[in-house]
Amino acid sequence: MTDAGSGDVTGGKGEGAAAWLDARLPVVSGFRQEYIDYPTPRNLNGLWNFGAILTVVLLVMLATGIFLAVNYTPTAAGAFASVEAIERQLPSGWLLRSIHVTGASLFLAALYVHLFRGLYYGSYKRPREVLWLTGLLLLVMVMFTAFAGYVLPWGQMSYWGADVAGKAVDAIPGIGPWLEHFLQGGDAPGDVSLHRFFVLHFVLAFAVLGVVVLHVAALHVTGSNNPLGIEPKEPRDTLTFHPYYTSKDAVGLILFALLFAVLVFFLPNLMFEAENFRPANPLHTPADIEPEWYFLPFYGMLQSVPSKFGGLLAAVGSILVLFLVPWLDTSPIRSARFRPVYRVGMVALVASFVLLGLVGRHHAEGGWMIVGRVALAYYFAHFLVLLPLSKRLERGVILPRSISSGLDAGA
Amino acid sequence: MRAVILASVAAGAILMAAAPGSARAQERRHEVAAPQAWSFAGPLGRFDMAAVQRGYAVYAQVCSACHSLNGMTYGDLTSIGLTDEQVRQIAAGQSVPGGVDAQGAAVMRPATAADHFRQPFASVEAAAAANNGAPPPDQSRLALVYPGGPDRIYALLTGYRPAPPGFVPTNAGAFYNPYAANFEIGMPPPLRDGQVEYADGTTATTAQEARDVTTFLAWAAQPHLAERHRLGVQVTLYLLFLAILAFILKRKVWSDVH
């Protein structure tokens, strides 16, 4: 007598260890289904490479970060010296650290490309809202991780950057001063805050990996959006992920690695702020406190608003408003390619974001203050006014019947 | 999408060009140092190790009396071409704090290659007290963090001259130097002809000493520069080759799609 329920569950899909395992935990067939046969729109352009690029950069950051962490001392007295020892005495430590620092900048750069790509092609729309939300959660987590990481070397910019962040918290009415003291573990950044930043940096980095898994899982439920913004309808609209997109992602990844290598090996001074090679000195404020470039747009918002708390609200709100985008944009059309008003709006949005970065760089002084206010006003108007209205402004749009016919028509 | 990228790049470029003077321009006044031809400049630069070794002699015989080199250990000197034995001897000639003895009194011991460079002063406060209130800056990363970099360090070291009539330093006892911030510096002229004895027989003029010690400081600030450049060429060439192969592969894979 055989036990039909618990016996041979291999289902006749071959024999051997792989089949045995697959019958119990479908890693082999799962991988085949999600990364080989996975149907992908045939018209993805180069901007769709950045998802794969971000995944690889994240893994590089975790790998280099672990080796840096085991050589790092998270105390105010020892942090700077331990980073110097990594750079000077640890074999290849300079390379590890340079990759990690450059990787942080390029991670944020790729993230911004990925984000604006999603906005431009309407990748946040039904049914991809959860994909969008997990992506934004990643953006926020990566920002916190990057900021915490920047504090760790405990140079002048690290210290005074942490100080500016503390002052921003301080600007919250009522509980601000108490909250700043509580989070910092003192009246100024010190041992306690440095230790907290270290733990935060480390824990968040792995939490990011976890949310990336959710983000990719959500992607594989709905499938990729594409430059035409219409769902695949016929078999010839899609290609298998492998070999088509594996080969295309490989080209994108290698080109990105080239940029990475040029920065690490030939232009490290673009990545390292010289002032941060001076050890933290609470008694000496640097002449020019400036965050890393990837925070400059938010620094610009912070400074464009006359009230400190107002600036904080604007900077935080500029991220929060992104979470509402799937519901603020009521247009059924996804891709900006078919949305004349939205397309112009997107150009203005990207320009505002870049401008706000320049405003941050110039401390919103003189004419930059006006530029900052105009750009900030447009940033919010884009999401809160243009998006809800655009459906009415964009009438009579005729979408292609399918991806293939859209491509045949040369769209 | 292309329009978006073009527009934002153009907006950035126009604004960069039209940008009003940055906040950095408000820095304190000094003359601009003339650019020098350094062996380590440029994307493929590497150090003239003979100059670095001579520069170390200048540091050891002159600068180290007041300036620390906190990031470095004596063992790091093997990378400028000194042998382990030479480094051991240099280290053994320096005494560093060696904890306390059985009575609790502080003791000194000869340094080893693993020790960090000896600190010239017991504390920052002691350094300030001995130097008219301004502690001499640490030289580990000076060539990177000093605005103007190696060119200005060289200009500063060779730029001492009699103060113009009517010049009154804001800090009593400061020296006139056109390349120092506000034309004044607390450091007395550190170099003069023949001050250093070079092992390789090079004539020790002030300019030679200044050039050598600047090269040494540039090396100390970026000791892996040459290795970085060499590795960079290899990695870049490898990736370029790989990119071509990957591009050909992609073309071949996609040839049946269009």
Give all domains of chain B, ordered by start, each with its CATH number: 33-72+117-246 (1.10.760.10)
The pLDDT of residue A13: 60
Distance from CA of A210 to the nearest CA of B (A): 30
Closest residue of chain B to A287, computed from CA coordinates? B24
- Per-residue pLDDT of A154-205, as tens digits, reads 999 999 999 999 999 999 999 999 999 999 999 999 999 999 999 999 999 9
* C-alpha distances out from residue B191 to A324, B53, B62, Å: 66, 17, 8
Q: How confident is the model at residue B20 (pLDDT cuts 50, 70, 90)?
A: very low
* C-alpha distances out from residue B52 to A172, B160, B216, Å: 53, 23, 4
- State the DSSP H helix or E strand holding residue A240, giving kind and residue range, or none if neither: strand A238-240
Sequence ranges of chain A with CATH classification 1.20.810.10? 26-289
Closest residue of chain A to B235, computed from CA coordinates? A261
Sorted by sequence, the CB contacts under 8 Å of residue A362 that are 6+ apart come out as: A368, B19, B20, B22, B23
The whole model's pTM is what?
A: 0.92
* C-alpha distances out from residue A337 to A129, A228, A332, A351, A404, Å: 20, 7, 13, 18, 16
| Contact flag B228-A94 (C-beta cutoff 8 Å) | yes
Q: B246 in the Ramachandran plot: left (φ > 0), alpha (ψ -120 to 50) or beta?
A: alpha
* C-alpha distances out from residue A82 to A89, A90, B236, Å: 10, 10, 30
Taking chain A, what is the end-to-end CA distance rounded to the nearest angstrom?
Answer: 64
| Contact flag B232-A261 (C-beta cutoff 8 Å) | yes
For B163-212, the DSSP string reads: PPTT---SSTTPEE-TTSGGGEESS-----TT-S--TT-----HHHHHHH
- In this structure, what is the dihedral angle of CA atoms B19, B22, B23, B27, given to the nearest 10 degrees? -150
The pLDDT of residue A372: 96
Measured between beta carbons, which residues in chain B are less than 8 angstroms from residue A268? Answer: 228
Binding residue per annotation — A114? yes
Residues B82-95, mean pLDDT to the nearest whole number: 96
The CATH label, of 3.40.190.10, 1.25.40.10, 1.10.1040.10, 1.20.810.10, for the domain at A26-289 is 1.20.810.10
- B104 in contact with A, Cβ within 8 Å: no
Per-residue pLDDT of chain A (411 residues; tens, 9 = 90+): 455 554 455 455 678 999 999 999 999 999 999 999 999 999 999 999 999 999 999 999 999 999 999 999 999 999 999 999 999 999 999 999 999 999 999 999 999 999 999 999 999 999 999 999 999 999 999 999 999 999 999 999 999 999 999 999 999 999 999 999 999 999 999 999 999 999 999 999 999 999 999 999 999 999 999 999 999 999 999 999 999 999 999 999 999 999 999 999 999 999 999 999 999 999 999 988 889 999 999 999 999 999 999 999 999 999 999 999 999 999 999 999 999 999 999 999 999 999 999 999 998 888 999 999 999 999 999 999 999 998 888 888 889 999 988 887 764
| Contact flag B15-A347 (C-beta cutoff 8 Å) | no
φ, ψ for residue B96 (rounded to 5)? Answer: -125, 160
- Per-residue pLDDT of B149-180, as tens digits, reads 999 999 999 999 999 998 888 888 899 999 99
Here the ipTM equals 0.92
Q: Which of A247, A370, A378 best tests the B interface by mutation, with the highest count of B CBs <10 A?
A: A247
Measured between beta carbons, which residues in chain B are less than 8 angstroms from residue A95? Answer: 224, 228, 231
Q: Residue A384: what residue type?
A: L
Average pLDDT, chain B: 90
- B15 in contact with A, Cβ within 8 Å: yes
Burial A63-88 (b: 16+ CB within 10 A, else e): ebbebbeeebbbebeebbbbbbbbbb
Binding residue per annotation — B224? no
